[in-house]
Amino acid sequence: MIANLEMVHNNGVQVTGRVTTIENIDTQSGSSYAKLTLEDRSGKLLAFAWSDSCHPSDFCINDVVKATGLFQQLSYKCVLKLQSCEQEIYYSAIDLLPASLCSDPSLLVRLEHLISQITIPPLKKLVEDTFKDNVLVKEFLSVPASFRHHHSYEGGLFRHSIEAAETVATSTVGIYPRNEHQVAVVAALFHDLGKIWTHGKSFRSLLDHSYLNLEILAPRLAELDMVWRPGADMLRHMLVCPHDNRHDSLVIEEAIRYADRASAGLDARQMAFANEPAFKTCVKFGDRRYCRSQEYKRAA
């Protein structure tokens, strides 16, 4: 991970990172070099590539590359002078999520911990492949979960999704069968994924986000069908039915409903009391009133 590199002058390193910025520069002598930023979920570093080691035109935004080079001191900071660089095909999608895309990079650590608990290989592959979609990830990590209620700020959707998935993970483990527990964690993580279309730049307001969950994940669900159709159908059911009580439900879907409401309610309450004095216990926020209890204090 980039944050673990020893950034000292003349230290040689090998690092895998995602190219998030790139600038091709021509010098007065006619040579050219590329100035680029490499990122992973732990941080970023500035790197320079000269044409004698890596041709600048070899790089594109969002490429995942394995680079070797030496750290050099430049204007009071260490930069990486690349000696070789090649595209990396096999990599952890979660580790290579750019920290700069997330308003709170600690959420990426929590995401990695959640995914480490998924032990069913095709289900884990579905999650990792979803996070390899650069366009989807950029929206998922940046759009709000709502416009005026809970998590109504940049990155709110991702925070809400992590909170819901964590609640399902801790409340259902050891109680429900492994397959239901792990599918429910994934369903909670992606239960509002459709909001990248209804709350993002495309703003498709006529559509219900819960049904868009299925459309967005359709290619990965089709792949899951090939190796574990019951799991794929269970995930489809969980992605839609917690929002629609007209259908038969799995009992574990109650945990997804609760996790969704608990995350939303807690965030809305925090927003409601954000500018209120400590003694105030009830306040109106939107169309609801929120209450909080006073801390216990030992009598003098």
**Domain match, 53 and 140 both:** no
* CA pair distance 7, 51, nearest whole angstrom: 23
Give the model's pLDDT for residue 110: 95
Domain with 240 in it: what CATH number? 1.10.3210
What mean pLDDT comes out for the span 164-190? 96
Give the model's pLDDT for residue 248: 58
Residue 298: is its pLDDT beyond 90? no
Which residue bears the tokens 């989807």? Answer: 136
**Count of domains in the chain?**
2
- Nearest C-alpha neighbor of 235 from the set 244, 243, 224: 224
Which residue bears the tokens 């040579």? Answer: 31
Indicate whether 41 belongs to any domain.
yes
Residue type at position 139: E
168-171's contacts with Cβ under 8 Å and 24+ in sequence apart are 168/255, 168/256, 168/259, 169/114, 169/117, 171/255, 171/258, 171/259
Give the model's pLDDT for residue 243: 57
pTM over 0.75: yes
Share of the chain above pLDDT 90, in %: 56
Give the pair of three-digit tokens for residue 221.
């669900």
Residues 6 or more apart from 33 whose CB is under 8 A from it?
24, 25, 27, 48, 49, 50, 51, 56
**Which backbone phi and psi does 227 adopt, to 5 degrees?**
-120, -20
**Domain match, 24 and 160 both:** no
Residue type at position 13: V
- Boundary of a domain, candidates 87, 117, 135: 87
Give the model's pLDDT for residue 279: 86
**Domain match, 241 and 185 both:** yes
**Domain match, 128 and 269 both:** yes
* Helix residue spans in the chain (DSSP H): 106-116, 121-130, 134-140, 156-172, 178-189, 195-198, 209-227, 229-240, 253-272
**Domain match, 79 and 119 both:** no
- Per the structure, the complete domain to which residue 254 belongs is given by 102-285
Indicate whether 296 belongs to any domain.
no
Indicate whether 97 belongs to any domain.
no
Domain with 82 in it: what CATH number? 2.40.50.140
DSSP-derived pairing of the beta strands 282-285 and 288-291: antiparallel
Query: Minimum mean pLDDT among 5-14, 132-141, 242-251: which range?
Result: 242-251
Give residue-wise pLDDT tens across range 74-96.
777 889 998 888 888 888 899 99
What mean pLDDT comes out for the span 233-262? 83
Indicate whether 261 belongs to any domain.
yes
Indicate whether 293 belongs to any domain.
no
Give residue-wise pLDDT tens across range 45-77.
999 887 666 665 677 889 999 999 999 887 778
Give residue-wise pLDDT tens across range 254-290.
999 999 999 988 888 988 888 889 889 999 888 888 8
**Domain match, 157 and 22 both:** no
